[in-house]
Amino acid sequence: MSVPFSQMWTVARYVTAQKLRGRQRYPLVLMLEPLFRCNLTCAGCGKIQYPPHILKRQLSVAECLRAAEECGAPMVSIPGGEPLLHPEIDAIVRGLIKQKRYVYLCTNALLLAKNLHRFVPSKYLTFSVHLDGLQREHDSAVCREGTYAAALAAVQEAVRRGYRVTTNTTLFEGADPVAVRAFFDAMMDAGVEGMMLSPGYSYEKAPDQEHFLGRARTRRLFNHILSNRRRRWRFNQSPLFLEFLMGRRSYACTPWGMPTYNIFGWQKPCYLLQDGYAETFQELLTSTAWEQYGTESGNPRCANCMVHSGYEASAVHDTFSSLAGMWATIRATFFSRGYPDPAALEALQRPPESGRRFVGVQISAPRRASAPRGEPDPAPASHEAAAEPVADAAGR
Ligand code: SF4
């Protein structure tokens, strides 16, 4: 368990208060995208392929703080683009901390070391460093050699200076479980507080059986990786969500649990899909046809999805919904004994499976129903195009 007690307590109080108020839909983590610019050009990235006039735009400090107040989530994740390219990112973080929100600043860490002086170590601030594996896997994934080494050096420097540091990793079908487990060891050696995992996002025009197999493959991959767990590994996310990835429990999607706000407004319905935008968070809640989303809805774009932005809030909700959910969380945290599984252990001896790769969470550029606020669609607007199996330099 790596989430500090004060943060767990804040989340527990918040979720309990929402339940006592009878709120059916409440946000847990605000996904705040202050800009889409980035200093990397990962193959297929749907963010950096926006036209230049969109890439130049960014949210102001006031807009970011207002969105956080409006939504009320106790945690704020700041992805991008690369947030450290925002000239006022330090002021945004300070303002969010002043509101007593737990901030996860997601970064590729290439600019982290030289920007550390702009931030004060705090229990409210975590640098969440994007690393998709060890050197070979990560440099390949981001299409630039030397990125892993630079990010690792920044991680170690931030840890040395007393900042909270986690990693966030997107795993794709075809990932080698042995290499992923070696990556976990390396991150623990580097001193990170915990690791976050999510499968890539896949949407392919395929028959239902194919969709089913997609989810089954995801579960098998995570079961091989997360069974027979080493005691030293720490994960900065819900243990029930990890069990969901391993196929030990099932959840419905909770897309409102991690709402996205960016320069276009509140994105419908989730971080991955762009079916229009709402002006206010309340409008997002009331005007989105939520029943049309999630695996059970039959929406083909949701058929293979198991990503953390859709399902981690479901796991947290489960924890606080009943004594059974609370007990399951306690058992997963303290009594799982590393999830022993001889079959998974044996699978680690075999060569990694090959096959189509998923399209990563951060690179999806789905079709939007209408261009927000008069803006044109981004260049890779066809979700279908972005989601076709691709063979690029990154192997994605
Ligand atoms: S299942 Fe995935 S793509 Fe569909 S609404 Fe949920 S998070 Fe979004």
pTM equals 0.87
* Confidence (pLDDT) at 352: 63
* Confidence (pLDDT) at 208: 39
- Residue of 93, 155, 90 lying closest to 124 (CA atoms): 93
- Residue of 289, 295, 293, 206 lying closest to 250 (CA atoms): 295
> What separation in Å is there between the alpha carbon of 252 and the centre of ligand 1?
10
Residues with CB under 6 A from ligand 1: 253, 255, 269-270, 272-273, 293-295, 301-302, 305, 307, 309-310
Ligand 1 atom closest to the Cα of residue 293 is: 5
Tens-place pLDDT, residues 323-365: 999 999 999 999 999 999 999 999 998 876 554 443 343 333 3
> What separation in Å is there between the alpha carbon of 336 and the centre of ligand 1?
29
> What separation in Å is there between the alpha carbon of 90 and the centre of ligand 1?
31
* Confidence (pLDDT) at 379: 38
Ligand 1 atom closest to the Cα of residue 295 is: 1
Specify the residue with its C-alpha closest to ligand 1, atom 7.
Answer: 310
* Confidence (pLDDT) at 163: 98
> What separation in Å is there between the alpha carbon of 230 and the centre of ligand 1?
31
* Confidence (pLDDT) at 141: 85
Ligand 1 pocket test target in 29, 241, 260, 272 with most atoms within 8 Å of CB: 272
Ligand 1 pocket test target in 170, 305, 367 with most atoms within 8 Å of CB: 305
> What separation in Å is there between the alpha carbon of 291 and the centre of ligand 1?
11
Tens-place pLDDT, residues 59-78: 999 999 999 999 999 999 99
> What separation in Å is there between the alpha carbon of 259 and the centre of ligand 1?
11
Stretches where the chain sits below pLDDT 70 are: 1, 43-46, 173, 202-213, 352-396
Ligand 1 atom closest to the Cα of residue 309 is: 7
* Confidence (pLDDT) at 362: 39
> What separation in Å is there between the alpha carbon of 235 and the centre of ligand 1?
23
* Confidence (pLDDT) at 1: 58
> What separation in Å is there between the alpha carbon of 186 and the centre of ligand 1?
31
Specify the residue with its C-alpha closest to ligand 1, atom 3.
Answer: 302
Domains annotated on the chain, with CATH: 27-352 (3.20.20.70)
* Confidence (pLDDT) at 278: 98
Specify the residue with its C-alpha closest to ligand 1, atom 4.
Answer: 302
